[in-house]
Amino acid sequence: MIENSQRLHLEKSFKKGKIPFAIDKGKYKRFSDRDTIFGRVVWDDSYIAHMRPITERAPNKVGKKGYSRIGYAAQEASWTIYDHFSGAFNWNSVGGDSDKKVLPTQLFNILPKFEASDIKTTTELVKRVGQIFGACKVGITELDPDLPFIFTHNRRNEPLDFPEEVKYAIVMLIEMDYQALKTSPTLPASITTGNGYSRMAFAIACMAEMLRKLGYRAIPAGNDTGLSVPLAVKAGLGQFGRNGLLITPKYGQRVRICKVFTDLPLLPDKPVDFGVTQFCRICKKCAKSCPSQSISYETDPTWESPWDTISNNNGTYKWYANVDTCYDYWVKNSADCSNCIRVCPFTKPPGISHEVARFFIKHFRFLDRMWVWMDDLMAKFPWWRYGKKEDPEKFWRSKKYLGKKT
């Protein structure tokens, strides 16, 4: 553990945006994917939601507003690619064969290995390909052995022997539908979550296979293999939010994160600071809107989790979420929950007013309280309803999804 004076220095630097995260390297250790909440559901019989799927309560809720029979079918269907395409998540599905090709090839077995003469150009091309494969934003980070963001074990408790030569992570963001998220915690919001994961699977499977066809190693990963949010922060895609999720400058929290690890030399991006940490200290909307009260109200982050759960890894200066009670609410809801994403002031669609607000939050942080007040004010107007839950039936009737009559 580092000295208190060093911790205080890291805290100040983090709050001012000089560093992307503050880590006590003597306290923080590599973490096992098995101890994440989704891993514990399977093996930890001391956990209240052990072996309980989030659809457990579905039979009792079918027919209630926002929980239609069609909605449940669409929710399950939205995960199809993620759940059944084994080539997308190698270490979760095929036991760690990171060089296994998803599809057999002949042409690329006879072509020479791609040699990048200009790393900057190669990086730009890789990012462009990521967008073609469905990412709304792509960032690059170099893996740092001093920042152990790679898991020690997978969810089957098998050690992850991460190859030393794989030094880069291509981090991709998949946008989620704003109108669907506004119905959280009902089924349309869950459908856009599952859809995001299936699109993640497509994006990383295609990216990994492209890298292999260039002659390089590629390890595709969704939530597995490494910690998605820290890698996305390090790749310059956003900052930590109070609820533990990534907040991006353009999309707020309405993104899903996936990544591909590779030994192809790439140019890393630099972390960004657009005022999130200071804004989260004042806002607290996600904590107030959480049905299970699983998000901290503390003004400042902490070095250790205040919650009694092994799914939090101490040693990082951040706001810790109680993922145990969060997931338990998912089971009771028979769907996941995105309330914290829905109410986040950064989670707004593109628009000049939102761009102006983001500019002031980034450059004039003494006005943060005013922007929180304005967000509250906008929530009272029926044509804006900022952060308010929308009628799920209104979502299904929207012309955006049904199309105009001809």
What's the mean pLDDT in 16-41?
94
- Residue 139 tokens read as 């960032």
pLDDT band of residue 106 (cuts 50, 70, 90) is low
Quick one: pLDDT at residue 88?
A: 53
What's the mean pLDDT in 331-345?
97
pLDDT band of residue 94 (cuts 50, 70, 90) is very low
Residue at 402 is within a domain: no
Quick one: pLDDT at residue 311?
A: 97
CA distance 327 to 209: 34
Quick one: pLDDT at residue 64?
A: 95
CA distance 165 to 217: 9
Torsion (CA) 340, 344, 348, 351 in degrees, nearest 10: 180
- More confidently predicted of 326 and 26: 326
pLDDT band of residue 117 (cuts 50, 70, 90) is confident
Q: Which residues pair with 53 in a beta bridge?
A: none
- Residue 200 tokens read as 């993640």
Taken in order 29, 245, 267, 209, is the CA torsion positive or negative? positive
Quick one: pLDDT at residue 364?
A: 94
> Which residue shows structure tokens 């898991």?
151
pLDDT band of residue 102 (cuts 50, 70, 90) is very low
Residue at 361 is within a domain: yes
What's the mean pLDDT in 204-219?
92
3-class secondary structure, 72: helix
CA distance 130 to 5: 42
Quick one: pLDDT at residue 350?
A: 80
What's the mean pLDDT in 164-176?
96
Yes or no: say if 178 and 220 are a contact pair by the CB < 8 Å rule. no
Quick one: pLDDT at residue 93?
A: 35
Which residues span the domain enclosing 287? 4-396
What's the mean pLDDT in 181-205?
96
Residue at 190 is within a domain: yes
What's the mean pLDDT in 319-347?
97
Residue at 340 is within a domain: yes
Residue at 325 is within a domain: yes
Residue at 245 is within a domain: yes
Q: Is 136 exposed, middle or buried (0-12, 13-18, 19+ CB in 10 A)?
A: middle
CA distance 323 to 307: 9
Of the candidate ranges 280-284, 285-289, 394-398, 402-406, the one whose mean pLDDT is the lowest: 402-406
With residue 174 as reference, give the H or E element that holds it.
Answer: strand 168-175
Q: Specify the number of domains making up the chain.
A: 1
Residue at 258 is within a domain: yes
Quick one: pLDDT at residue 401?
A: 59
What's the mean pLDDT in 358-385?
92
CA distance 199 to 213: 21
3-class secondary structure, 309: coil
pLDDT digits (tens, 9 = 90+) for 299-324: 999 999 999 999 999 999 999 999 99
Residue at 405 is within a domain: no
pLDDT band of residue 168 (cuts 50, 70, 90) is very high
Q: Which residues pair with 141 in a beta bridge?
A: 169
Quick one: pLDDT at residue 293?
A: 98
Measured in degrees and rounded to the nearest 5, phi and psi for residue 62 equal: -55, 130
In the chain, the percentage of residues whose pLDDT exceeds 70 is: 92
